[in-house]
């Protein structure tokens, strides 16, 4: 009983901002007054240290003092790729190395700056946010476009190392005709919750207007891109979304010598899609369909992904069926990937992912299955 009393006493010392005496000082005084034995003091010190480390591990945000408090975070992803395709070179790379700064100027105004230092350093996010109320938030600047649930999911939270084929091709990412913009653009976004039920969001919305020219780039034409997204939460753990994107793309002129062989033009870059996500305890399920039209070329694709946690959410097993047709007017043009993965979470900030992808192309098949291993660590 005495030991329990002093454990409570030490816990209070940890919580209250006392400056005049340290924990050791208090224990030393108690020992000198013969209120506790030296062994009991050592035991209390050990248990208090363990408790302090456990509490420290739970902290996710550490404010940095500047003019105002800044939340500083970051992560890196180190990847090893091995392909069965003839002529490919296996090896390591730094997939991402990001530094993320967030802060609030007032209860209404906040901001974010995120940089990626892997490869050529670039600014990823740069925006101000006005939080009027639950029904209306306004984001000004460079941020993710409100299209595709997988595009909007942070790479640190993805169940698999790579995003799906259709997401990479039709959401301003690596295989989009507009270039890799990391799923982002410069513009203004309105969003919030339309309907709540017992403090639980039931209907959310997003409306955005963008340059359409990509990140860190001034607009190249007078046309603007428009995006809209509606998200429904019928029951806890289930989200159903529909999204629409009306955009355009500036195609520069082509010259042969000094002669313009193809004049510059503006072509359409339109998308629509819908997705379903379900998360319940250790089980997760997600599916998404996206259609896109770039000038006269129509494309579409979908995926179905499932995951299950084992060993108190330390180990996650994941499988995905991934289909993409890069040109619906052409035969033997689609590809199907089956991806198998396992994730091991060392802690909240460190994760090891192992993926094996079985690739199958329509028409002439290529022996190009590949494996990925990625270690992610953050702060």
Q: Any residues with CB less than 8 A from the CB of 30 and at least 6 apart, and which? A: 6, 36, 41
pLDDT value for 64: 66
pLDDT value for 190: 98
Helix (H, G, I), strand (E, B) or coil at 264: coil
Whether residue 59 is contained in a domain is answered as no
- The yes-or-no verdict on residue 269 having pLDDT over 50 is yes
Whether residue 331 is contained in a domain is answered as yes
Question: pLDDT tier at 16 (50, 70, 90 boundaries)?
Answer: very low
pLDDT in tens, 235-244: 999 999 999 9
Same domain, residue pair 182 and 298: yes
Same domain, residue pair 77 and 172: yes
Query: DSSP letter string over 175-217?
Result: T-TT---TTEEEEEEEEEEEEEETTEEEEEEEEEEE-SS-TT-
Residue scoring higher pLDDT (322 or 44): 322
CA distances from 210 to 182, 188, 250, 293, 347 (A): 15, 7, 14, 18, 38
pLDDT value for 56: 64
Whether residue 64 is contained in a domain is answered as no
Same domain, residue pair 257 and 169: yes
Task: Read off the CATH number of the domain in which 124 is found.
Answer: 2.40.160.10
- Percent of residues, the chain, with pLDDT higher than 90: 72
Q: What is the mean pLDDT of residues 249-269?
A: 86
Same domain, residue pair 45 and 85: no
Same domain, residue pair 163 and 267: yes
- The yes-or-no verdict on residue 180 having pLDDT over 70 is yes
8 A C-beta contact, residue 175 and residue 164? no
Same domain, residue pair 318 and 235: yes
Residue 195: both structure tokens together: 């309907």
Residue 194: both structure tokens together: 């339309």
Same domain, residue pair 95 and 22: no
Whether residue 63 is contained in a domain is answered as no
Whether residue 65 is contained in a domain is answered as no
Q: What is the mean pLDDT of residues 342-359?
A: 97
pLDDT value for 60: 62
Whether residue 216 is contained in a domain is answered as yes
Per-chain mean pLDDT for the chain: 90
Q: What is the mean pLDDT of residues 15-44?
A: 69
CA distances from 292 to 189, 223, 238, 368 (A): 22, 18, 26, 26
Same domain, residue pair 117 and 210: yes
- The yes-or-no verdict on residue 8 having pLDDT over 90 is no
pLDDT value for 260: 81
- The yes-or-no verdict on residue 303 having pLDDT over 80 is yes
8 A C-beta contact, residue 101 and residue 113? yes
pLDDT value for 27: 77
pLDDT value for 46: 78
Same domain, residue pair 111 and 204: yes
Cα dihedral across residues 173, 206, 274, 356: positive or negative? positive
Residue 299: both structure tokens together: 């494309």
Tell which residue, 372, 343, 344, has the closest CA to residue 357: 372
Same domain, residue pair 104 and 224: yes
pLDDT value for 41: 76
Same domain, residue pair 80 and 46: no
Helix (H, G, I), strand (E, B) or coil at 14: helix
Helix (H, G, I), strand (E, B) or coil at 56: helix
Question: pLDDT tier at 220 (50, 70, 90 boundaries)?
Answer: confident
Whether residue 62 is contained in a domain is answered as no
- The yes-or-no verdict on residue 3 having pLDDT over 80 is no
Q: Any residues with CB less than 8 A from the CB of 160 and at least 6 apart, and which? A: 305, 318, 320, 339, 341, 353, 355
Same domain, residue pair 243 and 174: yes
HSE, CB side, 13 Å, CA atoms: give it for residue 120.
0
DSSP classification of residue 348: T
Number of domains observed in the structure of the chain: 2
As a whole number of angstroms, the distance between CA 8 and CA 234 comes to 44
As a whole number of angstroms, the distance between CA 353 and CA 372 comes to 8
- The yes-or-no verdict on residue 17 having pLDDT over 60 is no
pLDDT value for 37: 83
Q: What is the mean pLDDT of residues 257-272?
A: 88
Residue scoring higher pLDDT (262 or 126): 126
4-8, 71-75, 116-120, range with the lowest pLDDT = 4-8
Domain that holds residue 357: 73-378
Q: Rg of the Cα trace of the chain?
A: 26
Query: DSSP letter string over 72-106?
Result: EEEEEEEEEEEE-STT---EEEEEEEEEEEEEESS
Q: Which residue blocks in the chain are alpha helix, DSSP H?
A: 2-15, 23-32, 38-58, 149-152, 165-170
Whether residue 68 is contained in a domain is answered as no
């Amino acid at each position: 009983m005495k030991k329990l009393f002093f454990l409570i006493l030490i816990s209070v010392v940890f919580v209250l901002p006392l400056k005049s005496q340290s924990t050791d000082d208090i224990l030393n005084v108690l020992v000198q007054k013969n209120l506790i034995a030296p062994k009991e003091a050592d035991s209390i010190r050990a248990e208090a240290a363990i408790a302090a480390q456990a509490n420290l591990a739970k902290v996710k945000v550490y404010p940095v003092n500047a003019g105002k408090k800044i939340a500083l975070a970051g992560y890196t992803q180190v990847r090893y790729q091995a392909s069965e395709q003839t002529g490919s070179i296996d090896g390591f790379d730094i997939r991402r190395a990001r530094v993320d700064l967030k802060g609030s100027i007032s209860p209404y105004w906040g901001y974010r700056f995120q940089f990626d230092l892997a490869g050529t350093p670039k600014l990823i996010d740069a925006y101000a946010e006005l939080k009027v109320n639950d029904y209306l938030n306004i984001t000004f600047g460079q941020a993710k476009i409100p299209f595709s649930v997988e595009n909007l999911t942070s790479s640190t939270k993805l169940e698999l190392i790579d995003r799906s084929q259709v997401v990479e091709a039709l959401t301003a990412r690596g295989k989009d005709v507009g270039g890799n913009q990391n799923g982002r653009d410069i513009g203004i976004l309105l969003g919030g919750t339309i309907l709540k039920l017992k403090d639980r969001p039931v209907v959310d919305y997003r409306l955005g207007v963008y340059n359409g020219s990509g990140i860190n780039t001034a607009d190249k034409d007078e046309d603007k891109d428009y995006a809209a997204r509606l998200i429904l939460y019928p029951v806890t753990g289930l989200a159903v979304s529909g999204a629409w994107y009306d955009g355009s793309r500036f195609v520069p002129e082509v010259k042969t010598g000094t002669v313009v062989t193809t004049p510059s033009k503006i072509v359409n870059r339109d998308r629509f899609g819908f997705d379903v996500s379900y998360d319940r305890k250790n089980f997760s399920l997600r599916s998404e369909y996206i259609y896109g039209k770039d000038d006269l070329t129509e494309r579409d694709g979908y995926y179905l992904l499932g995951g299950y946690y084992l060993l108190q959410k330390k180990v996650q097993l994941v499988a995905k069926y991934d289909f993409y047709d890069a040109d619906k007017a052409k035969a033997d043009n689609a590809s199907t990937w089956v991806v198998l993965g396992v994730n091991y979470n060392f802690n909240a900030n460190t994760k090891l992912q192992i993926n094996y992808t079985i690739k199958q192309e329509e028409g002439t098949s290529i022996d190009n299955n590949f494996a990925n291993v990625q270690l992610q660590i953050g702060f």
